[in-house]
């Protein structure tokens, strides 16, 4: 739930625990298990893979309730046998001043087939498979930053006006356009697959995405990567939230599979006090502002005023379309088949005559040629 509230560029970096001195030793073991279980849960949901350059260390922060002493250790979550490494924990006050923000709107129109072999019309599994294919399109997209295509290794802020003194804004914002390729690259092999389907899922709408980079000289590659992940995460998270809501309201085993229209939760952004960064959350149409405020307090200990919540986009929908064979459909199919067979029989003589005429012309051509 916390990771859903973090826009691109912000990640869950670890866990913390406040314990009494008597429980300090047991707390270390609990934190280690929690670090790995949290990372496993997060990686299971991701539709993207971390790069080799990314740091895989996660922090375990232990705070003594009596002495207020802070002990920080890190674990390499890529190594199940990783042991604790000591780390310094320092408080800094200037981190909120140097964020670079990127934003974009992505139009979504995704058609996902529902395979007939899928048990019980597993909508969630099929949707995730479809989003996984769509995420690869996002990875291969072209990103225009302030209307320009920039080399990945260049400075993100290169060419932008630099501010001095008190006139410098807390956040420098870049507007991004996402250009999705319509076809595969020429070098990629393409194959056609015929599958028997029981219906389809259609996701339509426009989603607002944000990413933040904290660096003195951010690279274009880092910024685009963070924005790509936010695009992929925000749509995947909404679908997860929708299916969680359907399970709560209709139960996990749904027998009837008819045509359905659902509205994906809308994204909203909330400013963080004392920072230029904005966190996000998702709301259904019937949710009150008070419910959103309670979530921010519960999850992030962050009080939010109702007037500070900005809904970023219009409604996006999910259209679930089954393929049904009603009696009238079956009769129509049989009638069409019978009509075709009758016409084929009626025209069989013409077909044979045409074939004989063609053969005769071939023989005569060969005769005159010889």
Average pLDDT over residues 105-111: 93
Write down the pTM of the prediction.
Answer: 0.80
Residue 119: its pLDDT value, please? 58
What integer best gives the mean pLDDT of the chain? Answer: 80
Strands (DSSP E) contained in 146-196 are 171-179
Q: Which residue has the higher pLDDT, 197 or 235?
A: 235
Residue 161: its pLDDT value, please? 60
Domain that holds residue 71: 2-86
Cβ-based neighbour number of residue 94 at 10 Å: 6
Residue 247: its pLDDT value, please? 80
Within this chain, do residues 260 and 125 fall inside the same structural domain, yes or no?
yes
Is the residue at 339 inside a domain?
A: no
Q: Which of 52, 86, 120 is the last residue of a domain?
A: 86
Which of 200, 203, 199, 309 lies closest to 264 in space, CA to CA?
203
Average pLDDT over residues 179-206: 78
How many domains does the chain fold into? 2
Within this chain, do residues 123 and 80 fall inside the same structural domain, yes or no?
no
User: Are residues 311 and 266 in contact, defined by beta-carbon separation less than 8 angstroms?
Assistant: yes
pLDDT confidence bin for 158, thresholds 50/70/90? confident
Within this chain, do residues 55 and 152 fall inside the same structural domain, yes or no?
no
With a pLDDT cut of 90, the percent of the chain lying above it is: 45
- What gap in Å lies between CA 164 and CA 260, rounded to an integer? 55
Is the residue at 176 inside a domain?
A: yes
Within this chain, do residues 287 and 225 fall inside the same structural domain, yes or no?
yes
Within this chain, do residues 63 and 204 fall inside the same structural domain, yes or no?
no
Within this chain, do residues 105 and 221 fall inside the same structural domain, yes or no?
yes
- Lowest mean pLDDT: which of 83-87, 197-201, 242-246, 350-354? 350-354
As a whole number of Å, the end-to-end CA separation of the chain is: 84
DSSP β-ladder status, 260-264 and 99-115: unpaired
- Predicted confidence (pLDDT) per residue in 264-309, tens digit: 999 999 988 778 889 999 999 889 999 999 999 998 888 999 999 9
Q: Which residue has the higher pLDDT, 78 or 364?
A: 78
pLDDT confidence bin for 184, thresholds 50/70/90? low
Distances (CA, A) of 300 to 5, 91, 294, 297: 9, 18, 10, 6
Within this chain, do residues 41 and 127 fall inside the same structural domain, yes or no?
no
Residue 233 phi/psi, 5° resolution?
A: -65, -45
């Amino acid at each position: 739930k916390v990771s859903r509230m973090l826009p691109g560029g912000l990640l869950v970096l670890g866990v913390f625990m406040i314990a009494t001195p008597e429980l300090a030793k047991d707390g270390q073991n609990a934190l280690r298990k929690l670090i790995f279980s949290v990372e496993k849960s997060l990686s299971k949901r991701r539709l993207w893979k971390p790069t080799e350059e990314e740091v895989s260390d996660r922090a375990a922060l232990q705070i003594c309730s009596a002495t207020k002493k802070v002990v920080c250790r890190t674990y390499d979550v890529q190594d199940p046998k990783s042991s604790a490494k000591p780390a310094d924990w320092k408080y800094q006050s200037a981190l909120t001043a140097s964020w670079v923000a990127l934003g974009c709107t992505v139009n979504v129109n995704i058609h996902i087939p529902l395979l007939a072999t899928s048990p019980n019309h597993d909508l969630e599994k099929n949707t995730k498979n479809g989003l996984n294919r769509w995420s690869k399109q996002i990875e291969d997209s072209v990103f225009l930053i302030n209307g320009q295509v920039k080399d990945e290794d260049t400075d993100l802020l290169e060419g932008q006006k630099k501010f001095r003194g008190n006139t410098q804004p807390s956040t420098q914002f870049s507007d991004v356009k996402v250009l999705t390729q319509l076809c595969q690259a020429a070098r990629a092999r393409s194959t056609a697959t015929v599958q028997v389907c029981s219906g389809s899922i259609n996701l339509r709408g426009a989603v607002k995405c944000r990413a933040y980079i904290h660096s003195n000289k951010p690279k274009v590659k880092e910024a685009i990567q963070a924005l790509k992940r936010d695009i992929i995460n925000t749509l995947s998270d909404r679908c997860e939230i929708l299916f969680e809501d359907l399970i709560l309201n209709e139960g996990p085993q749904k027998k009837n599979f008819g045509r359905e229209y659902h509205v994906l939760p809308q994204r909203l952004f909330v400013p963080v006090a004392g920072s230029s960064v904005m966190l996000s959350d998702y709301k259904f149409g019937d949710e009150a502002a008070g419910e959103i405020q309670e979530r921010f307090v519960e999850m992030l200990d962050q009080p939010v005023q109702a007037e500070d919540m900005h809904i970023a986009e219009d409604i996006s929908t999910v259209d679930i379309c089954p393929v049904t064979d009603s009696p009238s459909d079956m009769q129509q199919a049989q009638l069409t088949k019978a009509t075709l067979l009758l016409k084929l029989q009626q025209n069989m003589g013409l077909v044979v005559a045409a074939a004989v005429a063609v053969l005769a012309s071939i023989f005569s051509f060969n005769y005159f040629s010889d």
